[in-house]
A and B are shown apart, each in its own frame.
Chain A
Amino acid sequence: MISDYADALAEKLAFDRRLARRVRQEVEDHLRDAVAADPAGDTPQAAQRAIAAFGDPQDVARQFAADALAHQSRGAAAAVILVIGGIFVAMKARLGWYALTHWTVSDETRALSGVVGMLDRYAFWLALVLGTAGWVYIIACATPARFHAGCRRESSRIFRLCAAATAMLVAAVVADGVLTALRLGDTAVSASFLVPLLSMTAEIAGAGVVLCRLLGMTRRMAAAAALLEI
């Protein structure tokens, strides 16, 4: 009976598997202590009393979900801001390298580079504005005691802001990739390619990290939303 209850609670915590494993063990230990302390001893009635005193697993899971989703949202927004900062540094490093090595754009690609560069700047600054807005929104929202419909709406808003920032970030990285390809395409392969290639790899990796975070957030939000049913 105790194991079944612990399993049921762990199942409801599917939005965070590591948390579910830990809580399952803690709860089972708690219930076995409660049964051991019951004057009736290790009986089904004692187990029933221990489970009743512990509370509805759905309600316990909702309390965990509120905090877990808030934590996940903060992590996603922080990742967006950090990666924006990292991409800015990578872009500046690349431009600094071009200046240092007098690596100029050829006349044939200058016009295209100008257009892509403009798109790159707009996408980057838009990503920064949206990412900051997401972060500010998270700070302004208090973490509720239980996951409820309003909490779900707030998480969705934060997700949309982070997703929009990430979309702009990916656009900026793609534009950076095009700009880098245009420069590299005009020159013979040499060791000086290393800085642009490494900085582009860092940008792509950063965008990948943010995308993974957002995917994780989507999965957790969907699993937590199931707690609002019934």
Chain B
Amino acid sequence: MLKGHLDMIVLAALAAGPAHGYAVIEEIKRKSRDAFDLPEGTIYPALHRLEGAGLLASRWVTAESGRRRRVYQLTRRGERALAERRAVWQRFSDAIGGLLDGTRSWKKPA
């Protein structure tokens, strides 16, 4: 289900503001109401890939606990990419919704 949509999900999780990897995963779980059974380690390659593509920027910060953590945030390009993907997804979702709403249950001929 997630294949091909992970980048959009990560971008959407960062739409609220900068966050580190663990917080991104928590945000995905919260917003999706735990709908995705996602190995948490999958998020980091996606974060790095999106950063390499210029859609995210990252920096080290020191947390209150004294641990250094990498915080990611959307770049302007990332914001534009998210808006585009949202629009595409909305069109797709509307189209599928329309199709499913108009589907009658198929009956096997006697």
Contact = CB atoms under 8 A, between A and B. Distances in A.
A59 B22 CA distance: 18
A162 interface: no
A39 to B, nearest CB: 15
B52 A26 contact: no
B45 A29 contact: no
Given A33-B22, A145-B3, A27 B68 contact: no
Contacts of B3: 145
Nearest to A64: B45
B42 interface: yes
Contacts of B70: 22, 25-26, 29
Interface residues of A, number: 25
A30 B45 contact: no
A25 B45 contact: no
Contact of A27 (B44, B49, B52, B67): B44
B44 A23 contact: yes
A27 B41 contact: yes
Interface string B60-100: 00000001111000000000000000000000000000000
B10 to A, nearest CB: 13
B42 A29 contact: no
Contacts of B67: 29, 32
Interface string A45-87: 0000000011111011001101100010000000000000000
Nearest to B63: A29
A67 B40 contact: no
B68 A55 contact: no
Contacts of A53: 39-40
Interface in B20-69: 20-22, 25, 39-42, 44-45, 48-49, 52, 67-69
